[in-house]
Structure 1
Amino acid sequence: MNTDRWFDDVALASEINSYLHHASPADYEKTVKRRAGAEGHGVIVTAYTPKMIVEDPQQVIEDLRRAYRRAQERPRPNIVAVPRGTRYRAAS
């Protein structure tokens, strides 16, 4: 999953979804599928638009804090985050 911010200690992802990058139906569907896949593996995902961040940054921060606390309350899923462009190889 491509994410804008990853909190590895609790497997929490935060995305900034701009209209520019999600303007087409295909782009939007790809985003929804990616999010559903991550959530299906136990990752908690938050999403904000640039406008939300600019117009109400305090609300975004509060939402992120709540999501982080919620992530802390459940067992961390067995997810490994790797930098973009890196191939992950499971240990033998």
Structure 2
Amino acid sequence: MAKAYWIATYRSVSDSDALAAYAKLSGPAIIAGGGRILVRGLPALTYEAGLQQRTVVIEFDSVDHAKQVHDSPAYQEALAVLGKGAERDIRIVEGA
């Protein structure tokens, strides 16, 4: 079974307090579900389109595990706290 990667990019953050509250809840929810946070922050370098966006990469044992964590009550609670505090794009991609 291939690993899976949950990749989140933040186009904008309009409420840093909501983002901080989200982080306090989402990290433990993700880790409890077996996720391993590999990357979190702004790019050191950018190429091609050169978008300087906060990026988070989380590794899971499978796409199904990543989906289960995303859909879990604990993570959904974190999302509710974030509300419209950030415009993001989340993708779950199966490893090669």
Question: TM-score with structure 2 length normalisation?
Answer: 0.37
Question: TM-score with structure 1 length normalisation?
Answer: 0.38
* Higher share of residues assigned strand: 2
* Higher share of residues assigned helix: 1
Higher relative contact order (CA 8 A, sep 6+): 2
Q: Which structure's CA Rg is the greater one?
A: 1
